[in-house]
């Protein structure tokens, strides 16, 4: 579970350091949001790719390789001479942390199948809780690191975290079973390198378009559309596709699970990064205090995940999550620079419910909608959906906060949240294929 938490803790640590990084490199709030998007662009491609690699080479081997990349990303970030190098560091961190979740889900599903048990709600809930707890610790930890050692510390911390994860993996994760030796051509064919490359082009082009959402580049839009068409054409004809597009087209419930995850996480990450910047710039709170204001968000998320995971509840938590997005957006309409800190903490509690219930329920839904053989890639795509939501969130932040994070931008954020919440609510209410509980 430690390895699955490395991405959430990186996200929360970074959230309280964006203002300090922007000051150090003289960048706007919208520009610093590219650091948020960079790790999610890398992760959006890396998660299903790592799931594919785990199936080919073994989950333990892939996890150890990813942790090595994470350590490298931490070293690059702590010594970055320019803002561009910080983006490189965040991309490496995204690739490295991508190995954690799909390999863990593959191992969990494999052991559950071998034991003949049903959906391991407690274990899946544990994965969500571990992510929420580490994210909760990351918020005040990020403020502390920036306050004591400056912004490089939020990158340097990945070195000991990654090394500790390597030691724990070697000690506690069983070695992968022997693999059948295959030639280089067979390995490349099974990995579908061309499909991965085209998928990467789609995600990167989408990221670049959204990165300057105020002035989108037409030629980049064309590149994204053409690459998406080429990717679909390739995957429909590949003997061992990276993503089985044909199977996805015939699996409406699974596609809707991905869509719910993307929209809900878009709302959550808009709050996580945009709200924190407003707390510092619009409300005038320090980085450490802002982290403490947001701390209950992750704490409530962990409690929410624990409550629903044991019995693998799916439908009702998804409804509650959607309603919480709407309620939080409406409440945010009445927030300004004079709002008391107590009420600001209360608002973070609402979105804690969103994060805890949505992620756990969609994870349980995915478990019922896929097979053991497909779990690595399918779970990677669930995280990809979350990262795409985060990329759209960074575009929203860039649009609503083109300069300083002010009250006017916060109103726009509230309107976006209400709109997204209504969309998620309709996806849940109208989808009769969502079970009340997992099997």
Residue ranges per structural domain of the chain: 3-192+238-429
pLDDT at 324 over 90: yes
Instruction: Note the pLDDT of residue 126.
Output: 66
Stretch among 159-173, 236-250, 257-271, 405-419 having the lowest mean pLDDT: 236-250
Q: Distance between terminal CA atoms of the chain?
A: 23
User: 350 falls in which pLDDT band (50, 70, 90)?
Assistant: very high
8 A C-beta contact, residue 238 and residue 192:
yes
CATH numeric code, 3-192+238-429? 1.20.1250.20
E strand or H helix at 253, and its extent? helix 252-269
8 A C-beta contact, residue 40 and residue 390:
yes
- Please count the CA atoms within 13 angstroms of the CA of 402 that sit on its side-chain side: 6
Diameter of the chain measured on Cα atoms = 66
Stretch among 52-66, 151-165, 285-299, 309-323 having the lowest mean pLDDT: 285-299
Tokens for 335, please give them: 């927030």
Tokens for 59, please give them: 């989950």
Instruction: Note the pLDDT of residue 417.
Output: 96
- The pLDDT tens digits of the residues spanning 213-222 come to 777 788 888 9
What is the C-alpha to C-alpha distance for residues 21 and 25, in angstroms, rounded to an integer?
Answer: 6
Task: Kindly tell me the burial class for residue 231, based on how many C-beta atoms sit within 10 Å of its own C-beta (0-12, 13-18, 19 or more).
Answer: buried
Please count the other Cβ atoms lying within 10 Å of the Cβ belonging to residue 55.
Answer: 20
8 A C-beta contact, residue 242 and residue 192:
yes
E-strand ranges in 25-109 read none
For residues 122-133, give the mean pLDDT: 66
What is the C-alpha to C-alpha distance for residues 1 and 217, in angstroms, rounded to an integer?
Answer: 40
- The pLDDT tens digits of the residues spanning 273-297 come to 788 889 888 888 877 788 778 778 8
DSSP state for residue 105 in the 8-state scheme: H
Q: Name every residue whose Cβ is closer than 8 Å to that of residue 99 and which is 6 or more positions away in sequence.
A: 3, 46, 50, 54, 62, 63, 65, 66, 67
Stretch among 19-28, 287-296, 331-340 having the lowest mean pLDDT: 287-296
């Amino acid at each position: 579970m430690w390895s699955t938490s490395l991405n959430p803790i990186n996200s929360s640590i970074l959230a309280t350091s964006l203002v300090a990084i922007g000051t150090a490199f003289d960048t706007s709030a919208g520009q610093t949001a590219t650091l948020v998007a960079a790790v999610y662009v890398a992760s959006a491609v890396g998660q299903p790719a790592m799931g594919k690699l785990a199936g080919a080479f073994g989950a333990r081997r892939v996890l150890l390789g990813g942790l090595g990349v994470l350590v490298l990303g931490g070293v690059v970030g702590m010594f970055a001479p320019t803002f561009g190098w910080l983006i490189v560091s965040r991309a490496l961190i995204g690739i490295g942390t991508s190995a954690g979740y799909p390999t863990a889900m593959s191992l969990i599903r494999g052991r559950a199948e071998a034991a003949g048990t049903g959906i391991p709600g407690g274990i899946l809930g544990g994965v969500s809780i571990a992510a929420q707890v580490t994210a909760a610790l990351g918020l005040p930890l990020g403020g502390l690191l920036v306050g004591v050692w400056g912004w490089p510390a939020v990158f340097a911390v990945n070195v000991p975290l990654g090394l500790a994860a390597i030691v724990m993996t070697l000690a506690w994760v069983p070695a992968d079973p022997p693999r059948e030796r295959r030639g280089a051509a067979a390995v490349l064919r099974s990995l579908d390198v061309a499909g991965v490359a085209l998928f990467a082009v789609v995600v990167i082009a989408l990221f670049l378009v959204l990165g300057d959402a105020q002035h989108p580049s037409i030629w980049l839009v064309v590149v994204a559309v053409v690459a998406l068409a080429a990717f679909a054409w390739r995957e429909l004809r590949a003997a061992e596709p990276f993503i089985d597009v044909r199977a996805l087209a015939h699996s409406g419930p699974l596609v809707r699970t991905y869509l719910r995850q993307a929209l809900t996480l878009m709302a959550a990450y808009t709050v996580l990064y945009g709200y924190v910047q407003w707390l510092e710039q619009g409300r005038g709170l320090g980085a450490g205090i802002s982290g403490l204001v947001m701390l209950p968000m992750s704490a409530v998320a962990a409690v929410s995940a624990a409550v629903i995971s044991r019995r693998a509840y799916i439908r009702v938590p998804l409804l509650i999550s959607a309603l919480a997005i709407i309620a939080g957006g409406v409440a945010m309409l009445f927030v300004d620079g004079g709002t008391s800190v107590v009420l600001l903490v209360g608002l973070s509690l609402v979105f804690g419910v969103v994060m805890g219930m949505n992620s756990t329920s969609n994870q349980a839904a995915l478990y019922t909608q896929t097979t053991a053989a497909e779990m690595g890639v399918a779970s990677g795509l669930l995280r990809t959906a979350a990262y795409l939501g985060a990329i759209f969130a960074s575009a929203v932040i860039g649009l609503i906060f083109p300069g300083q994070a002010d009250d006017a931008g916060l109103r726009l954020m509230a309107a976006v949240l209400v709109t997204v919440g209504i969309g998620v609510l309709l996806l849940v209410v109208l989808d009769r294929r969502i079970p009340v509980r997992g099997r």
